[in-house]
Structure 1
Amino acid sequence: MSLINQLFRFATGVLFIFSGLVKLNDPVGTQIKLEEYFEVFSTDFASFFHYLIPLALPLAVVLCVAEVILGVALLLQYRMRLTMWALLLLISFFTFLTFYSAYFNKVTDCGCFGDAIPLDPWESFTKDVVLLIMIVVLFVQRNRLRPALPSRAAQVVVGGATVLSLALALYAINYLPPIDFRPYKIGNNLPQLMESSAPLQYQYVMVKNGKEEVFDQYPTDTTYKYKDMILINPEALPKITDYQVWNDQGDFTQETFQGKKLLIVVQNLEHTDVESYTKINQLVGGLPADVKPMVITSVNPEAFEIFRHEVQLALPYYFADATVLKAMIRSNPGLMLLEDGVVRGKWHYHTIPSPDELTAQL
């Protein structure tokens, strides 16, 4: 039993630390996921959850920091009574969320490991069930787990993990995620990611005389009835499927991939940093002639027309899906520099570059 305890303790602690750190790298991504859950719960359970939406970001930070702290405490076998109760409650909550998402197909990606390791709902639920089993075993055996370090030393390690976790979260919120796991990261060729990396291959499920058969090619025998089609190389699917830019004059998606473009992303007006538009205007005024600025937003035209006059943003503007803009950059407003569709630079509104700093990325 001692060997099983140590194996479960190590696996659970490492998974919690990894999960927490990956999400702390991008707390805004976890915020977006929590907002999805609150929207669903406000419809399915009670309107109370709708009032938690403005608190999604601080709740995301607290949950992710708690994952790291509990993982570290478990590895150190520090204050096991409190640690095991907290782990049991947390994994029970996560297991309910992932089961609800999977069974009712409500939130198609739980965000358990952020964007680093995307899991579908049933994969997330299976992972949480395994963790729940391990934590229950450890919970029952908690009195046999002795501290790995003296109390004062363990307090220093746990305290240090708390401070570092909070520092990582604050950095990612006020600047950009240190590691960008999204397909819009610097260096990526967006037009290429919008295409399949290889020809898509399918198998065809056909029925004849009540029996199912699978074919690599669609059968010419007309006595077979089609039932389903299975993609056998899903890894070849496009990594970007929903990027589209338009205005009332038509589609401008390909226009964003031609030459050097500075995309000024305005996700919404409620949470945009108004003061940063002064610096953005100064930047735009100093751009070289071959860098064309374009504003992309999901705000309705009437409201944005009023807003852009208020902040003197005298630039052509286009529209895109709100979810796409959140995926492109975790900043509102945010800047993306493209050269022939390749992402050359990304800036949070706290780090708006000078014209020379921007063009140095080209």
Structure 2
Amino acid sequence: MKAIVSISRILVGVLFIFSGFIKLNDPVGFSYKLQEYFSEPVLDIPFLIPFALIIAILLVIFELVVGIMLLIGYAPKFTSWSLLVMIIFFTFLTFYSAYFNKVTDCGCFGDAIPLTPWESFYKDIVLLLLILIIFFNQKYINPIFPLKYHKWVVFVSFMACFAFCYHVLMHLPVFDFRPYKIGNNIPEKMKIPEGAEQAEVVYSWKFKVKGEEKIIKNNGAYPQVDGEFIGVETTQTGENAIAPIHDFVIEGEEGDITNEVLTADKVLLIVTYNLRATEKDGYKAVKSLSEEAMKKGYKVIGLTASGPEFQSELKKEFDLNFDFYQTDETALKTIVRSNPGFLTLNNGTITQKKHWFDASDIEL
């Protein structure tokens, strides 16, 4: 049993640290996932949505530090109870999402390892079993350092987590797992990957021919059969292949300009998914950078999901000399974790991506 507990302890501790670190690398992205959970169609607790970022930060830091506490053997009773409560909550959440098909990706490992709701649920079931082993055998959790050092390890871990979190909030995630990372070509990512499994719908047509049931399978055309039609059933083989980037469309008064933007050799995109919630402290940098880019021959456009009224108000307030265009809000949130944020493109390839705080680092 001692060996089983040790193995469980290592597996659970490492997984909690890994999961916590991946989400801590992108707390804004995890807060978007929490907002999805808090929304009316899912858990119906929308009053928590304004606090999603704070909750996200506290939750992932606690998750990571509890994993460290388990590995070093600090406060085994508190650690075991914390793990048990968290995994019961996570298991309920993933089962609810999977069974009712509410959230298509739990966000357990951020964008690094996307999991389906059922995959997340099965993962949590395994974790629950391992944590139950730990919970009922706490006497086998022995410290790996002298006890006087444990508090310092935990304290340093907390401080390091907060420092890392502050860094990614004031800049951008250190590790970018999204399809819009620097070096990716957007048009290429808008194509379905080679070898991706294509979904095929099979129609099973049932007829009664000379007193016997006959089934004919095809891709949808009504069969020419000399008999009585009974009914038809459909089944799907394979999965619907979706391109990594499938919702990137830029529209303005003149229509869709996506191709025009993705074929230009010098483009500066100013991304602000929501003009009502945008950080207005960043618009001094927006104005300065946009004017410099225009002087150097860049095509400068703003991307937002907000309507013309908010666009006009913001342009007037900060005397901006570029136009805003409409793009899907989810796509804009995925592109850059800053509101506003900057991207430079060269024939559709992302060459630079910066938080507004680092606008001066963009090379034109």
| TM-score between the two structures when normalised by the length of structure 1 | 0.90
Corresponding residue for 1:9? 9
Q: 1:285 to 1:45 in 2, by over 3 A?
A: closer
Find the structure with the greater CA-based Rg.
2
Query: Is 1:26 matched up with 2:26?
Result: yes
Corresponding residue for 2:130? 134
Corresponding residue for 1:154? 150
Q: Deviations over 1:182-231 (max 9, x none)?
A: 1000000000100122266455545366899999x999976795622323
Matches within 5 A, 1:58-137: 58-137=54-133
Corresponding residue for 2:334? 327
Matches within 5 A, 1:245-284: 245-259=250-264, 260-284=266-290
Deviation at 1:276, TM superposition (A): 1.9
CA RMSD of aligned residues (A): 2.4
Separation of aligned partners in 2, 1:213 and 1:131: 46
Separation of aligned partners in 1, 2:313 and 2:235: 50
Corresponding residue for 2:359? 352
2:236 to 229, 241, 244: 229
Counterpart of 1:353 in 2: which secondary structure? helix
Q: 1:329 to 1:213 in 2, by over 3 A?
A: farther
Separation of aligned partners in 2, 1:22 and 1:75: 18
Query: Is 1:312 matched up with 2:322?
Result: no
Q: 1:306 to 1:270 in 2, by over 3 A?
A: closer
Separation of aligned partners in 1, 2:336 and 2:359: 14
Separation of aligned partners in 1, 2:93 and 2:26: 20
Q: Which amino acid aligns with 1:290?
A: G
Deviation at 1:173, TM superposition (A): 1.0
Segment of structure 1 superposing worse, 220-229 or 99-108: 220-229
Q: Which amino acid aligns with 2:169?
A: I
Q: Deviations over 1:326-357 (max 9, x none)?
A: 00000000001010000000110111126xx4
Identity %: 39
Q: 1:50 to 1:219 in 2, by over 3 A?
A: closer
Q: 1:262 to 1:204 in 2, by over 3 A?
A: same
Q: Deviations over 1:53-98 (max 9, x none)?
A: 1111111011100111111111111110000001111111111111
Separation of aligned partners in 2, 1:212 and 1:126: 37
Deviation at 1:181, TM superposition (A): 0.8
Q: Which amino acid aligns with 1:309?
A: K
Counterpart of 1:196 in 2: which secondary structure? coil
Separation of aligned partners in 2, 1:87 and 1:333: 37
Is the 1:262–1:337 Cα contact (8 Å) retained in structure 2?
yes
| TM-score between the two structures when normalised by the length of structure 2 | 0.89
Structure 2: segments with no counterpart, 5+ residues? 207-212, 226-230
Is the 1:205–1:212 Cα contact (8 Å) retained in structure 2?
no
Is the 1:204–1:226 Cα contact (8 Å) retained in structure 2?
no
Is the 2:272–2:278 Cα contact (8 Å) retained in structure 1?
yes
Structure 1: segments with no counterpart, 5+ residues? none
Separation of aligned partners in 1, 2:183 and 2:348: 10
Corresponding residue for 1:172? 168
Segment of structure 1 superposing worse, 285-294 or 53-62: 285-294
Number of positions where the alignment pairs a residue of Structure 1 with one of Structure 2: 350
Separation of aligned partners in 2, 1:340 and 1:44: 40
Counterpart of 2:268 in 1: which secondary structure? strand
Corresponding residue for 2:204? 207
Counterpart of 1:118 in 2: which secondary structure? coil
Is the 1:204–1:230 Cα contact (8 Å) retained in structure 2?
yes
Corresponding residue for 2:209? none
Q: 1:263 to 1:113 in 2, by over 3 A?
A: same
Separation of aligned partners in 2, 1:126 and 1:213: 37
Deviation at 1:165, TM superposition (A): 1.3
Q: 1:44 to 1:127 in 2, by over 3 A?
A: closer
Segment of structure 1 superposing worse, 189-198 or 153-162: 153-162
Q: 1:326 to 1:45 in 2, by over 3 A?
A: closer
Counterpart of 1:358 in 2: which secondary structure? coil
Separation of aligned partners in 2, 1:179 and 1:315: 31
